């Protein structure tokens, strides 16, 4: 299913999709090539990014999520200030709140509940063999 770009009113023509391990793990389970499919779903250019915190969590969890780690390592790592690393959902929430104040706008791609993000964001989730949920959340 393709979503018209007007669904993402806060975003320019190039979408920055911020992914976590749960999203990449679901993409792996359902054999979804994110670089191929996200531009089709969003109807525009896509830059897929992740964070140090996401990578650290996947490394810590080890072999059960090794495939998700390999997928995440393919993407650009956006700067997050967390040392020691935070949980991925806390890190994504921090970047979403920070981005709401600046020029960077993210579409957050996670299969975890987005309650408590505290910023307007677009959200993607994988459920089954395709990305099914794409909408604006104002929390």
The arithmetic mean of pLDDT across residues 99-103, rounded, is: 69
User: Dihedrals φ, ψ of 19, to 5°?
Assistant: -105, 150
The structure tokens listed for 6 are 């007007």
5-137 maps to which CATH number? 3.40.50.1010
Per-residue model confidence as pLDDT tens digits over 34-54? 999 888 888 889 999 999 999
* pTM (two decimals): 0.77
């Amino acid at each position: 299913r393709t979503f018209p770009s007007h669904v993402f009113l806060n975003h320019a023509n190039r979408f920055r999709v911020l992914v976590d391990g749960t999203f990449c793990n679901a993409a792996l389970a359902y054999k979804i090539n994110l670089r191929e499919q996200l531009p089709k779903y969003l109807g525009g250019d896509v830059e897929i990014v992740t964070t140090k915190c996401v990578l650290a969590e996947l490394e810590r969890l080890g072999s059960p999520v090794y495939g998700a780690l390999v997928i995440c390592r393919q993407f650009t790592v956006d700067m997050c200030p967390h040392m020691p690393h935070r949980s991925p959902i806390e890190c994504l929430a921090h970047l979403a709140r920070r981005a709401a104040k600046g020029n960077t706008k993210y579409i957050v791609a996670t299969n975890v509940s987005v309650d408590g993000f505290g910023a307007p964001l677009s959200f993607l989730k994988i459920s089954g063999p395709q990305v099914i949920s794409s909408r604006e959340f104002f929390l």
